[in-house]
Amino acid sequence: MKQQLSNPVLYLMSISAGLVVANLYYNQPLLHQMAERFGVSESAISNVALSTQLGYAFGLLFIIPLGDKISNKKILKYDFLLMILSLIAAALSESVWLLIASSFFIGFSSAIPQLFVPMAAQLASEKDRGRAIGIVMSGLLIGILGSRVISGFVGAAFGWRVMYWAAAGLMLLLFILLHYKLPKLTPQYHGSYGSLLKSIGHYFKTEPSVRLAALRGGLSFAGLSAFWTTLVFLMEDSFGYGSDVTGAFGLFGIVGAVAATVVGKFSDRFSKNKIILYAAVLMIISWVVLYFSASSIFGLIVGVVLVDLAMQALHITNQNIIFSKNQEARNRINTIYMVGFFVGGAIGTTAGAFAWSRYGWNGVSTLGIIFSAAIVVAHVIFRKKTI
């Protein structure tokens, strides 16, 4: 008998997704402080953010498929142990290389919120699936954006190490809550771990809708990662602001993230093709606004609201599409999509740092326009074969 998804459990998953995924982004407003502490360049310290995102991609690939094979409670127990130890290691780092290595495992273990998204899709009724995904993703994206606000202020007031100590304590409390409140799900897959991973390749080859969704998601997140990685440098160079003001920009991005539940309802009722196309066009517009806002705080605020809203609409619709099929393999399907999503983020982080070092803010904004235009091109060419 199918378990029902109650609102308290749904919102617990949403809040938990936000708190855990925040671990990935605490470092971004703190990169300038870290660069000064270790005496390295801005380009070199960006490897901390890159390592975190690559770790997340590996966690998606090797941890999340286990949701189709192993009880969610068992996965949580071991994952949270690694997460807490990695955060403590980052707080204690005395070299940039140890910080980069610790960041990789922070990212690796913080992939766990992606178990909550297919779980919500599984427990929700078909007519409410988009809403459930939207609520969980709203929490996740608020965590992504809010993390920058929190770490910016904590970093400015107490230094970057305190942020990692605080995150470790918070993760311990969250694990205790999830252990007692989250429903236990026992998957039906009985094959080996190796065959489980091999089956991901099967779904990748046979599901064009998943491949296209991963491409769209990766391109959108590449642009957003380029923005957040370089914003701290723009704030320092053009306005003389520190990590607290840079992090505060996350508050404006939350406006777009809060729209997740509305977007989820729309994706249940309206043409997914049109929502994706409109979102990609809005993303291009937002990057054009950002291009002309290197010296305008107001323009940067408008741009970040629009770009987060557009990415949220695209992301929720992508997930509603891929979760409508292959119900027995939702975690593996989500793995394909989210690996593409965060590999795109890692590419955006690297490309954004390069564009900033060579061409400044105009280079970063042009990069965002290129990524967004590529979404439109890919969607127009391949959409009839996938939706």
- Is 312 part of any domain? yes
The sign of the CA dihedral 24, 26, 32, 37 is negative
- Is 178 part of any domain? yes
pLDDT of 1 reads 43
- Is 285 part of any domain? yes
In angstroms, the Cα distances linking 131 to 54, 136, 138, 311, 318 are 29, 9, 10, 17, 13
Distance from C-alpha of 236 to C-alpha of 7, rounded to nearest angstrom: 43
102: containing domain? 8-183+205-385
**Rounded to two decimals, what is the model's pTM?**
0.76
Q: Is 39 exposed, middle or buried (0-12, 13-18, 19+ CB in 10 A)?
A: exposed
Number of domains in the chain: 1
pLDDT of 312 reads 83
51: closest CA among 100, 116, 99, 17? 100
Per the rule left: phi > 0, alpha: psi between -120 and 50, beta: everything else, 376 is alpha
Beta-carbon contacts of 312 under 8 Å, excluding residues fewer than 6 positions away, are 137, 141, 256, 257, 259, 260, 263
Distance from C-alpha of 253 to C-alpha of 308, rounded to nearest angstrom: 6
- Is 124 part of any domain? yes
Beta-carbon contacts of 227 under 8 Å, excluding residues fewer than 6 positions away, are 290, 304, 307, 352, 364, 368
The first and second tokens of residue 3, run together, are 């378990």
- Is 126 part of any domain? yes
Residue 278 sits in a domain whose CATH number is: 1.20.1250.20
Distance from C-alpha of 90 to C-alpha of 95, rounded to nearest angstrom: 10
- Is 200 part of any domain? no
Distance from C-alpha of 381 to C-alpha of 385, rounded to nearest angstrom: 9
- Average pLDDT for consecutive 10-residue bins of the chain (387 residues)? 71 92 90 87 84 88 89 91 97 93 96 85 73 81 81 88 96 94 81 89 90 94 90 85 73 68 63 86 96 92 88 85 78 88 86 92 96 93 67
Distance from C-alpha of 384 to C-alpha of 273, rounded to nearest angstrom: 9
pLDDT tens digits for range 202-235: 989 988 989 999 999 999 999 998 998 888 889 8
- Is 197 part of any domain? no
Helix residue spans in the chain (DSSP H)? 7-21, 31-38, 42-62, 72-91, 96-109, 116-123, 129-158, 160-181, 193-206, 208-234, 243-258, 260-269, 272-291, 297-323, 330-382
- Is 176 part of any domain? yes
Distance from C-alpha of 316 to C-alpha of 374, rounded to nearest angstrom: 19
pLDDT of 41 reads 83
SS3 246: helix
pLDDT of 237 reads 84
